[in-house]
Amino acid sequence: MSVVTIERKVLEKNDQLAAENRDALTRLGVFAINMVSSPGAGKTTLLERTIAALDGRVRLSVVEGDVQTDLDAQRVARYGVPVVQIVTNGGCHLEARLVRDALAQLDLAGTDVLVIENVGNLVCPANFDLGEDLKVVVLSVTEGDDKPLKYPAMFQRASVLIINKIDLVPYVDADVSAIRRHARLANPDLQIFETSCRTGEGIEEWADWLAVQADRRRA
């Protein structure tokens, strides 16, 4: 009982801070996404391709979350995008408090879209609201088509699913139609994109969708 009580208190405090983050971002007209996935699904490469595809149409800022190193932040910074790195030192997810501190280092008044790249994990990040408008789950075909069945909470709480690395479909035992079907069992309302960072397939469609969300927020 004490463990449950402590966990509830932690989540309640996190939700309070997340609400404050969300209010601040909304007031400034910033559309925020929380990008989540397993390690190696290709989140950072997808983010790089997204920045290139947007080609300055929206002003992006990025918060990078990693267990160790600032390697991903360095990659993103090469595109001229403001980025803040959060190193969790072993923590398996970001929390609203960490994001709040990162936001203080960004020019949010000059930001249209905030991308929070979470720690690679399909379990813990599902439970922690960061103040984002929506969660975007990235799933690579190399992970198999059963992940939405094994980790339903993440897909239930996400609004967008990006099925990544589709260029590898001929070489792995994964069925994209099965991924779609299993994901929609968890969440029938998921917006789904299929992308390949190697060939560029689907990147423009995803980037255009993101730009539309930014335009709606600014309107």
pLDDT at residue 4, as a whole number: 46
46 contacts 126 by C-beta, under 8 angstroms: no
Region 169-182: what's the mean pLDDT?
94
Whole-structure pTM value: 0.93
Q: How sure is the predictor about 196, in pLDDT bands with cuts at 50, 70 and 90?
A: very high
pLDDT at 7: 55
Transcribe 71-130 into DSSP letters.
HHHHHHHTTT--EEEEE-TT-SS--HHHHHHHHTTS-GGG-SEEEEE--S-SSGGGG---
The CATH architecture assigned to 2-218 reads 3-Layer(aba) Sandwich (3.40)
pLDDT band per the 50, 70, 90 thresholds, residue 193: very high
pLDDT single digits (tens) 107-155: 999 999 999 999 999 998 999 999 999 999 999 999 999 999 999 999 9
Please give the pLDDT value at position 11: 83
**pLDDT-based confidence at 202, cuts 50/70/90?**
very high
What are 179-188's contacts with CB under 8 Å, separation 24+? 179/139, 179/141, 179/145, 179/147, 179/148, 182/145, 182/146, 182/147, 182/148, 182/149, 183/139, 183/148, 183/155, 185/148, 185/149, 186/148, 186/149, 186/152, 186/155, 186/156, 187/155, 187/156, 187/158
CB atoms within 10 A of CB 15: 14
Residues 19-54: tens digit of each pLDDT = 999 999 999 999 999 999 999 999 999 999 999 999
**Residue 91 near residue 12 (C-beta atoms within 8 A):** no
Q: Mean pLDDT over residues 87-93, rounded? A: 88
The whole-number pLDDT of residue 121 equals 92
Is it the case that residue 170 has pLDDT exceeding 70? yes
